[in-house]
């Protein structure tokens, strides 16, 4: 089955700790994205990557970091510098430029920092 997996589903951390969220896709898509979702705020773009070994900041990149060493993987690290990290995090992928642009989403990771 082709799709996007995110793990874990729920993650709990203490304040001051870095935490890495996993995102893997087997759709052979070039582009991958990380979004943060808070109630009533829709989806806000954190980072995106159009190709391996390259990525760009989105609208709310402060306090986050990413890597794209493999086409199928795009992990997100929430650092201790992120002031309010508790949120629902969604990973997506797409194959832009094929008159489609639709993004496919993973099931999400709910991060709680106390």
Partner 1 sequence: AQSVTQLGSHVSVSEGALVLLRCNYSSSVPPYLFWYVQYPNQGLQLLLKYTTGATLVKGINGFEAEFKKSETSFHLTKPSAHMSDAAEYFCAVTNGGSQGNLIFGKGTKLSVKP
* Residues of the shown chain interacting with partner 1 in the complex, contacts defined by CB under 8 A: 4, 6, 31, 33, 40-43, 45, 48, 50, 88, 90, 92, 94, 96-97, 99-108, 110
* Cβ closest to partner 1, residue 70 vs residue 97: 97
Q: CA-CA distance, 98 to 79, in Å (whole number)?
A: 35
The CA distance from 40 to 32, in Å, is 24
Question: Minimum distance between the CB of residue 69 and partner 1, rounded to whole angstroms?
Answer: 21
Strand order in the sheet with 64-66: 4-7, 19-25, 76-78, 64-66
Q: How far apart are the C-alpha atoms of 18 and 78, rounded to whole Å?
A: 6
d(CA 72, CA 9): 19
Choice between 3 and 81, CB closer to partner 1: 3
How many CB atoms are located within 10 Å of the residue 33 CB? 22
Q: Which is nearer to partner 1, 82 or 103 (CB)?
A: 103
Quote the least distance from Cβ 47 to partner 1, whole Å.
Answer: 11
* Shorter beta-carbon distance to partner 1: residue 10 or 14: 10
Residue 80 Cβ vs partner 1, minimum distance, rounded to whole Å:
26
Minimum CB–partner distance for residue 16 and partner 1 (Å): 26
């Amino acid at each position: 089955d082709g799709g996007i997996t995110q793990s874990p589903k729920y993650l709990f951390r203490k304040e001051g700790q870095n935490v890495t969220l996993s995102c893997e896709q087997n759709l052979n898509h070039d582009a991958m994205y990380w979004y943060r979702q808070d109630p009533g705020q829709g989806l806000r773009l954190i980072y995106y990557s159009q190709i391996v070994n390259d990525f760009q900041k989105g609208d709310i990149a402060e306090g986050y970091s990413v890597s794209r060493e493999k086409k199928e993987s795009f992990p997100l690290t929430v650092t201790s510098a992120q002031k309010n990290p508790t949120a629902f995090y969604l990973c997506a992928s797409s194959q832009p430029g094929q008159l489609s642009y639709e993004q496919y989403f993973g099931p999400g990771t709910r991060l709680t920092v106390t």
